[in-house]
């Protein structure tokens, strides 16, 4: 997998996220948590057990300190299934003109 550890974040950015989390409202904290977790899962960073923003940031910090991306989660399986031919043009419309 070719990705930067901790989504490419620096220690300063992770620290800033922690400080920012302390001053935002609970609704904003939920939105930040959901956004960060979604981004992490999209690049296959396991978030198992993380229930707070700080726990998600801890996972990213461990990756940053190790200097290597975390291994793929156990649940991920590479697939060779193809979803059929790719088309980049338009089909003729089947609607009738009155």
Indicate if the pLDDT at residue 1 is higher than 60.
no
- Could you tell me the residue range of the domain that residue 14 belongs to? 5-66
Tell me whether residue 77 is in a domain: no
Tell me whether residue 22 is in a domain: yes
Q: pLDDT tens-digit profile of 47-81?
A: 889 999 999 999 999 999 988 887 777 777 776 66
Rounded CA separation 88/2 (Å): 27
pLDDT at residue 88, as a whole number: 54
Rounded CA separation 30/17 (Å): 14
pLDDT at residue 71, as a whole number: 75
Tell me whether residue 37 is in a domain: yes
Question: Are 45 and 4 contacting, i.e. CB atoms less than 8 angstroms apart?
Answer: no
Tell me whether residue 83 is in a domain: no
Tell me whether residue 56 is in a domain: yes
Count: domains in the chain: 1
Tell me whether residue 40 is in a domain: yes
Rounded CA separation 77/55 (Å): 25
Torsion angle (degrees, nearest 10) of CA 40, 44, 48, 52: 0
Tell me whether residue 86 is in a domain: no
Tell me whether residue 43 is in a domain: yes
Q: pLDDT tens-digit profile of 9-28?
A: 999 999 999 999 999 999 99
């Amino acid at each position: 997998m070719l990705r930067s550890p901790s989504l490419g974040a620096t220690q300063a950015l992770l620290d800033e996220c922690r400080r920012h989390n302390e001053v935002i409202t609970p609704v904003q904290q939920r939105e930040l948590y959901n956004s960060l977790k979604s981004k992490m899962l999209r690049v296959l960073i396991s978030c198992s057990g993380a229930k707070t923003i700080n726990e998600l940031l801890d996972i990213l910090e461990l990756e940053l300190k190790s200097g290597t991306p975390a291994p793929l989660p156990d649940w991920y399986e590479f697939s060779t299934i193809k979803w059929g031919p790719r088309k980049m043009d338009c089909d003729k419309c089947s609607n009738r003109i009155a």
